[in-house]
Structure 1
Amino acid sequence: MNSNRITEDEVLSLVISQLVAYGYSAVAQSVADATGATTDMMPSARLSELLQIAKDKNEEEDSDDDYSGKDFDRESPREDMDVHMNVSGFDVESMRNAQPKTAPEYNQLYYTQHKGPCRTAIFSADGRFAATGSHDSSLKLLDVNKMKNRSGDAGDKPVIRTLYDHLEPVNDLSFHPNGLVLASCSNDQSIKLFDLSKTGVKRAFRYLQDAQPVNSISFHPSGDFLLAGTKDAAVRIYDVKTLQCYTNSSNADMHRGSITQIRYSNTGKIFATSSLDGTVRIWDSTTSHCIKTLDGAHGGTAVSSVRFTSNEKYLMTAGLDSTVRLWDITSGKVLMEYKGHEQRLQMLQPSFNYNEDFIMIGDESSTDVICYDTQTGALVKRIPGHNNLVRCVASSPVDNGILTCSDDYRARYFNA
């Protein structure tokens, strides 16, 4: 995510303009003559402003825990990391003949508490880290191995640090593929980018300002682009390096209501959006054109979530008709329905487990997480533990670990 290096001519121009602003016009002219720099000799304090920004950015605040940050010392994902490309374990034929599988025995290993309802969570692509976002406007960065192997040692805390930079509730999170940057979006109409490699830093090093509350975000697998869905109906696509924003300009392609969730597929060739207008749309990432619309995906009720399977053949959606559905992307037909939970009012966020054998979602009629067998649609398990509604389930990409986010202010980590 490094920006393009500033050129020598740009640096010299800034130096000369700053000298003129300080009243050293003769010195500035000498520098211009000696270097041949292109300049209009106009006074400008831009150089001092940039230096102040860099100084502020490098100041490290006290961290929540004594954490060295050494786990973030890689520049890019390991080449042998294939967690994004695990082949889906089902197809149409296997679904027709399948028998319900036994769900894992989930045990709660750790929980962390926010100062408000916990709304969203995500794991990094390598499964080593996780993050949660809250109604209290904060984020927490978590070490998964420490949650797994919680020893009770007070000095070995899974919470690496708490991040503060939003002014209103956090709605969604996305890890950059290199694992070094965490993006978050909020009702405060902004997207914040946090540099996780710097110990103790709690505030964003970069932000994207919108004119609407931002409901959902998703990094492209290359890390070069960031999707955003807002209370506006238009899709936003941000170039991460230039911060330029692109929107779909065709009214024919746009939703007719707020975008509730937006997600890239594993390869980034396509992405999907769900909306309060009751539709789901699938888009070509190259052209940004809508290539398929699922009208009335949940009987005309709002659709709260979209998730691609890892092989990009199927799409999971959840809606306010108390149903999760699995769709064949090519035909646009429903392959399976999952019923047994209640979702009438809230934008619940379900998840596949790491090998897509199971689908998990909260339940408005209880405080449990409902676990469905993906191939048969059978409700195979209820996972208790929370004291209020579970809004979001996030799954590790490498094992049976899950994070559940609840209105009881807690995010709980379970594993089998």
Structure 2
Amino acid sequence: MKEEQRDIYSLILNQLVHDGFIHEATKLSESTMIPCPLPQDATNKLTQLLQSTLAPSKDLNTFDDDDGKEMDIGNDKMRCLDLDSNSSSSSTSGGGGGTASASSPPLNKVSFLTKFITTHKNACRCAKFSWDGKFVATGSSDTSIKLLDVNKMRNYNQTKNETTEDFAPSRPVVRTFYDHSQPISDLDFHPSAPILASASKDCTIRFYDYKSSLKRSFKFIQDSHSVRTINFHPCGDMLLAGTDHHMIRLYDVNTFQSYTARKVNEHHHGAINQVRYSLDGNIFASCSKDNTIKIWDATNFGLINTIGSPHNAKEVTSIQISRNQKYLLSCGRDSYVKLWEISSGRMIHSINTGVNQFGNNKNRLCATFNCTEDFIITLDEQPSSVAIYNSTTGEPVQKLSGHIQSIRWIASSPVENALMTCSNDHRARFWTEDTTNYIPSSSTSSSSLSITNTKQPDIIL
């Protein structure tokens, strides 16, 4: 699509949204691959341009882009909005006060903007960054997997460089894989080899060599159940897998030999929602539809402890172990994000996202740390937006808006402040830190996450 055509369609999209024709605008956006503006950001410049044309005396410089500033109609860089720090419903931290008082010191902040959007043919369900942060993969209900170059996304001009071919040199989409027959559930990169693994509802785990030109997997594991989650061991020799079955699988990547915990009473009692290793690979965590979280010894597949009903007898949907292996981040269908001390099972923070996990919203709540673990990134009370919280205090920091339907997954780069958000609007948005509005964050390193609030009741393990 030529630049002039894109600008015309951008004007039309803005006018449609401005006049309330959201459904029509969404269809046009999907057809033209031009991002649809939010209602509060939509302009009526098409009407103004027409009026100015009919009245020559009016100044047309309003629509001139010669000064180097991008026109609002085509600018998809959705800057983050600060949450109201006085909102008591957004977060509850363990000390009893979920809001910052007027005398509290200012919160550390980080500012993100959208740099690139890729679109699938159906809901985008998951994303994963490579260990070195150079690539990110997205998986969709349309059974496809897209591999994207992070550096190209960061430098890509969405409004000026349009092409219809994914493999064009200027495009950030490096390759698209088509080998599954059902929606993609999870993705993971091998820690040292150029291998991408994917899990799917079609009961397979597939392995792709993303440095080759092949669009098919070079080997796969066939399971008897739908595969819900996977995670490589940091050494790369083993792969954890969770399925609709209640037993966690551990696969030898070279031989495909499968292992599981020997003691029957140590297993979950429901489908496995997520499995995640610690950074050093000594332990891993799992969460299940049985409403529990389990911590395992990765060397002998032995159970270390169980956190029973951590989310008010609701399903636990996601987990992540901090880099220093001291804390666990969890989400549940009770709409809460919780931070736990692994050694004691004590809850450090409890954040009420306000997301309605009942009724029509069947998506699983998700959360992740940023690269330095200074912030927790999860869903806002509007499930099409992202909320950022201070990981030390549990206080709300910022809000990211841009998607037009519910977000299903948030992935964070391990090496920089960069995010990938996946949504039911078929899109995956790549966010990077906005250095023009940069406010320095704390010097807390990723390996020394420090929690000062410890006034929480113990959880019985």
TM-score, with normalisation over the residues of structure 1?
0.75
2:189 equivalent in structure 1: 175
1:228 equivalent in structure 2: 241
Which of 322, 330, 337 is 1:324 aligned to?
Answer: 337
SS in 2 for 1:188: coil
1:108 equivalent in structure 2: 114
Preserved contact between residue 274 and residue 317 of structure 2 (Cα < 8 Å): yes
* 1:249–1:105 distance in 2 versus 1, CA, 3 Å: same
State the AA in 1 paired with 2:374: D
2:423 equivalent in structure 1: 406
1:117 equivalent in structure 2: 123
Preserved contact between residue 395 and residue 402 of structure 1 (Cα < 8 Å): yes
Instruction: Note the alpha carbon deviations across 1:76-127, whole angstroms, 9 max, x for none.
Output: xxxxxxxxxxxxxxxx9xxxx9956233221100000001100100100111
Q: Take 2:181 and 2:127, find their aligned partners in 1: how far apart are those partners?
A: 18
1:191 equivalent in structure 2: 205
2:391 equivalent in structure 1: 374
Which of 342, 347, 350 is 2:367 aligned to?
Answer: 350
| CA displacement at 1:366 relative to structure 2 | 3.6
Preserved contact between residue 175 and residue 182 of structure 1 (Cα < 8 Å): yes
Preserved contact between residue 323 and residue 343 of structure 1 (Cα < 8 Å): no
Residue correspondence of structure 1 range 52-131 to structure 2 within 5 A: 101-131=107-137
SS in 2 for 1:331: coil
- The number of equivalent residue pairs is 322
2:379 equivalent in structure 1: 362
| CA displacement at 1:287 relative to structure 2 | 1.1
Which of 214, 217, 220 is 1:207 aligned to?
Answer: 220
2:280 is the alignment partner of 1:267:
yes
Preserved contact between residue 353 and residue 379 of structure 2 (Cα < 8 Å): no
Preserved contact between residue 100 and residue 378 of structure 1 (Cα < 8 Å): no
SS in 2 for 1:197: coil
2:401 equivalent in structure 1: 384
Q: Take 1:342 and 1:411, find their aligned partners in 2: how far apart are those partners?
A: 20
* 1:261–1:102 distance in 2 versus 1, CA, 3 Å: same
SS in 2 for 1:252: helix
Instruction: Note the alpha carbon deviations across 1:161-203, whole angstroms, 9 max, x for none.
Output: 10011000000001000140000000000000001121x2111
State the AA in 1 paired with 2:315: A
Q: Take 2:110 and 2:274, find their aligned partners in 1: how far apart are those partners?
A: 28
State the AA in 1 paired with 2:346: K
State the AA in 1 paired with 2:135: F
Q: Take 2:147 and 2:303, find their aligned partners in 1: how far apart are those partners?
A: 35
| CA displacement at 1:249 relative to structure 2 | 3.2
Preserved contact between residue 338 and residue 348 of structure 2 (Cα < 8 Å): yes
State the AA in 2 paired with 1:264: Y
* 1:99–1:214 distance in 2 versus 1, CA, 3 Å: farther
Percent identical across equivalent pairs?
A: 43
2:403 is the alignment partner of 1:397:
no
* Stretches (4+) displaced over 4 A: 97-100
| CA displacement at 1:362 relative to structure 2 | 2.4
Instruction: Note the alpha carbon deviations across 1:229-269, whole angstroms, 9 max, x for none.
Output: 01111010000001101122322111011100000110110
| CA displacement at 1:364 relative to structure 2 | 6.2
* 1:224–1:100 distance in 2 versus 1, CA, 3 Å: farther
SS in 1 for 2:347: strand
1:311 equivalent in structure 2: 324
SS in 1 for 2:279: coil
State the AA in 1 paired with 2:364: M
Which of 166, 184, 191 is 2:180 aligned to?
Answer: 166
Q: Take 2:404 and 2:133, find their aligned partners in 1: how far apart are those partners?
A: 27
State the AA in 2 paired with 1:291: I
1:67 equivalent in structure 2: none
Unaligned runs of 5+ residues in structure 2 are 1-93, 95-99, 164-168, 434-461
Q: Take 1:251 and 1:300, find their aligned partners in 2: how far apart are those partners?
A: 22
Q: Take 2:105 and 2:234, find their aligned partners in 1: how far apart are those partners?
A: 34
Preserved contact between residue 363 and residue 389 of structure 1 (Cα < 8 Å): no
Q: Take 1:187 and 1:343, find their aligned partners in 2: how far apart are those partners?
A: 25
Instruction: Note the alpha carbon deviations across 1:7-36, whole angstroms, 9 max, x for none.
Output: xxxxxxxxxxxxxxxxxxxxxxxxxxxxxx
SS in 2 for 1:304: strand
2:432 is the alignment partner of 1:415:
yes
Unaligned runs of 5+ residues in structure 1 are 1-91
TM-score, with normalisation over the residues of structure 2?
0.68
2:251 is the alignment partner of 1:245:
no
Q: Take 1:160 and 1:252, find their aligned partners in 2: how far apart are those partners?
A: 45
